[in-house]
Amino acid sequence: MPAAAQYGEPQLIKAVTNDYNTAAKEEALERGFVWVDITGVSTYQLGSPGWIATDQLHPGDAQYAAWAEVIWDRVRGAWTG
């Protein structure tokens, strides 16, 4: 995200995010939750209209829609039987 630059170097932000995701995944799986990794889908359309919110820090509607598709693909079986 463009505005994330104010929080540190891209490599540091990526490392911290990866560490967080690793810990969150472990916690989720230990509790029997489904973990859905949205890392790849979060970046594949950078620069597309609506991908990033106007604050340049948060996801835009298009990115949220892409997340929803990835999440639904992963949990669909548990919800539809």
Report pLDDT for 81. 67
Residue at 60: amino acid letter:
G
pLDDT, tens only, 36-54:
999 889 888 888 889 999 9
Confidence of residue 71 (pLDDT cuts 50, 70, 90): very high
- pTM equals 0.78
Question: From CA 37, how far away is CA 77, in angstroms rounded?
Answer: 17
The residues, ordered by sequence, that sit 6+ positions from 37 with a Cβ below 8 Å of its Cβ are 21, 25
Percentage with pLDDT > 90 across the chain: 54
